[in-house]
Structure 1
Amino acid sequence: PRIKERLHQPADYLSGGEQQMVAVARALSGDVRVLLLDEPFEGLAPAVIEQLFESFDKLRHEIAIIIVDHHLDLSLALSDRTVALERGTVQWTGESQLLRDDLDLRRKVLWL
C-alpha cells in the first residue's frame, strides 16, 4: 500500500490494506523486538496481501513476528516455527518447513 501518498488523509478513508500497514507502522514506531499479527491478511484483496506478505517477509529478518492466522500457506511461508493450537492447547510444535513439505503431516496436525 502507498501509505506515503496518503499522509494527509484521515485513516477512515484508507483501504483495508492501507489501514493494516498504518497499524503495523504504529506498532513498529517504538523499540520493538516482537510483533504480534492477528489475522493480518483477513478481508484484503490479493494484491494487497502480496504487498503485505513482502513487507512481513523482509521484516521477519529484523524482529520476531508471531502470526495468528487461518491463511496457512502464507503463515507457513513467513515462519520458521509453527505452533498448532486447539482450544488454547498446544497440539503440535515444530519447524514450519515440515508442514510445508509433508502434506500427510499437515493433515494429521491440522486436520486438513
Structure 2
Amino acid sequence: MTTIPRSYVRALTRIRCSIFQTTFNPSSQRTGAKYLRAPLRGPAMVQYYPKPEAFSVTKLNKIYPGWNLVDIDEVVRLNDVESKKKRGKGAPKKAKTPAESRRARKKR
C-alpha cells in the first residue's frame, strides 16, 4: 500500500478550498467561521418580543376626550407615590426661590 505525500494532500486541500470557496486553514487555528456561518439571531429576537402598543390609554384619552378611560397602571403608580410621601420616602420638594435652595444654605 502506498502513502500519499503530505504536500500533495495540502495542495489538493488548497485547490478544493478555492473551488468550494471555503477557508484554507492548514494550521487548524480558531477562526470563528462557525459563528460567522450561523444564521443571525437578531431577526428571531425581534419577532419574539412583542411590538410596543400603538395605542395606550393616555393616547386614547387625548384622541377621544369624552371617553374618560382609566389607566390602571397609572392609578397604581400614583397610589405608590402617595404612600411613599406619607412615609417620608418621596421626592424632596423643589425650591421655588433661590433662597430656599440647598446651595444658598451651604453658602451662608
TM-score (norm 2): 0.20
Higher strand share: 1
Rg (Cα) greater in structure:
2
Q: Which one has more relative contact order, counting CA pairs under 8 Å at least 6 apart?
A: 1
TM-score (norm 1): 0.20
Higher helix share: 2
